[in-house]
Amino acid sequence: MKKRQSMREQDPKIRANNFDEVTLGYTEEEAILEAKRCLHCKNPLCMGGCPVSIDIPGFIKKIAERDFKAAYQVITNRNALPGVTGRVCSQEKQCEGSCIVGIKGEPVAIGNLERFVADWARKNVKEPCELEASCGIKLKHSLEEKESVTHTGDSVSSVKKVAIFGSGPAGLACAGDCAKMGYNVTVFEAWHALGGVLSYGIPIFRLPAEILSSEIEYLKSLGVKFKTNTAIGKTLTLHDLKELGFEAFFVSTGAGAPYSLNIPNEDLSGIYTANDFLTRVTLMNAGNSALVDNPINIGDRALVIGAGDVAMDSARTLRRIGFKTVYIVYRRTEDEVPARHEEMSHAGDEGVIFKFLMTPLEFIGDNAGKLKGVKVAKMVLTDEVDNLGRKMPKQTGESEVIDVDTAVVAIGQSSNPTLAKCLGVTLNKKQHIVIDENMQTSVAGVFAGGDITTGAATVIAAMGAGKAAVRSIVKYLSAK
């Protein structure tokens, strides 16, 4: 069995002090060698592990043949954001986790190969017309058709209009496929920046801004229009959009309401939710210590609560903006950590200190209301398991205080119901939008998918929901 091609990385001591991308990608020769490890199974289980059903053996075969453009066309036939998913998708739990090669050795590096193809195309495929084969339609004709749309009086063009609320992964996936179907698509984003969680929730050392921008430009080349600084329900209502001729709507505003620890003194200065912290650094340049009005007070010692990918992102970002000591506190052991193994390994290499079997009891402040420490309880795992099969922790009765001046709470988030309430759709007890098997909400013509319906999940799962919604949107509009 040929050995898996490792990907080159920045030296940990250097990268812990910069925001440049950590992993450096494959060369052409490395990609071809890795592609040749694929067995091209008659029943490719890897495809069953992909929420957007990419023809994985198909694009890998093209890489092995050095036909990188064809590989890109195969991928983008199902996935409009390969540069994103190749970097942040949890392949080890999905496509690579199902790879037959992985039974006796390391699985084929499907994510690394997807990233390689996307990066190659970003440098070598310049014109939209070069991507016709990836669209399933005549792209040039589709764009001309959209550009010829006009309004006469109150009449609406025969090219039906679809509005998408939110420009995160679910919204972008839905927008791309709707555009490929020939619809006139507009994505409405409340923020000034496009991409949703891809833009503000993932640090640029994992997902460089130019990668996301390039893939949004690809969607624009398909005819998708974007409107930023537009909060549906405030800037525009559903009624307003219907008056403008929109006939179908997809809600994909994600899960932006962070969970609280519900422990004493959470209001002390120096305590952030991970969502808030990462947004400040990514979109507000808080990593720049020279800023006079820096939205983050940069100290010496910080603590992150949680052990998912967002917790790893937060801890690694704290190191980069100047904190000398960064802890991650998690109530279970290393074996139960939900973050990707690669992210946890990178965090450790960059000097993040893990404190397992601990949970916060209270935040401790000084007389000025600033955080100076976190009291944590020591834990032990029991034989009782949760709904994911993980052993449940319980307190031992022992505790200690960890001296820190900053804390980031990264224990997940739920859906923000504000937009849903404006639209009048039904919510469940968790404030998620209720949808049927066709992703239809309780309001006719309004569909929903992604974290707003499930709670926080993965980027690729949200994209899968966005693509699935297109089938229902097409059926709905075809019947009108």
Query: Does the 12-125 domain belong in CATH 1.10.1060.10?
Result: yes
pLDDT over threshold 80, residue 135:
no
State how far the Cα of 62 lies from the Cα of 389, in Å rounded to an integer. Answer: 40
| Structure confidence by residue, pLDDT tens digits, 386-428 | 888 889 999 999 999 999 999 999 999 888 888 888 999 999 9
Architecture (CATH level 2) of domain 130-256+414-478 = 3-Layer(bba) Sandwich (3.50)
Please check the confidence at residue 147 and state whether its pLDDT lies above 60. Answer: no
Q: Can you count the helices (H) and strands (E) in the chain?
A: 19, 15
Residue spans per domain, the chain? 12-125, 130-256+414-478, 260-411
| Percentage of residues in the chain having pLDDT higher than 90 | 82
Find where tokens 């955080």 sit.
371
Cα distances from 399 to residues 111, 317, 362, in angstroms, run: 42, 28, 11
CB-CB contact of 193 with 204 (8 Å): no
Which CATH entry fits the domain spanning 260-411: 3.30.565.10, 3.40.50.300, 2.40.100.10, 3.50.50.60? 3.50.50.60
In this structure, is the dihedral angle defined by the CA atoms of residues 148, 151, 152 and 156, taken in order, positive or negative? positive
Q: Note the pLDDT tens digit of each residue in 170-224.
A: 999 999 999 999 999 999 999 999 999 999 999 999 999 999 999 999 999 999 9
**Torsion angles phi and psi, residue 246, rounded to 5:** -75, 135
Structure tokens at 477: 């509009």
pLDDT in tens, 274-315: 999 999 998 877 766 666 576 788 889 999 999 999 999 999
Using 50, 70 and 90 to split pLDDT, how confident is the model at 98?
very high
Is there a shared CATH topology between the 12-125 domain and the 130-256+414-478 domain?
no
At 171, the amino acid letter reads G
Residue 450 backbone zone (phi > 0: left; psi -120 to 50: alpha; other: beta):
left
Cα distances (angstroms) measured from residue 32 to each of 27, 29, 67, 90, 331: 9, 5, 10, 22, 42
62: nearest Cα among 51, 73, 52, 53: 73
Mean pLDDT of all residues in 326-348: 96
Distance CA 409, CA 61 (A): 44
Main-chain phi, psi angles of 50, to 5 degrees: -105, 115
Instruction: Single out the residue of 196, 240, 206, 222 nearest to residue 86, CA to CA.
Output: 206
Asked whether the beta carbons of 83 and 136 are under 8 A apart, the reply is no
Q: Could you tell me the CA-to-CA distances from 383 to 190, 392, 393, 463 in Å, in that order?
A: 46, 7, 9, 36
Has residue 105 got a pLDDT over 60? yes
pTM of the model: 0.90
Cβ-proximal residues to 58 (8 Å cutoff; 6+ apart), any chain: 74
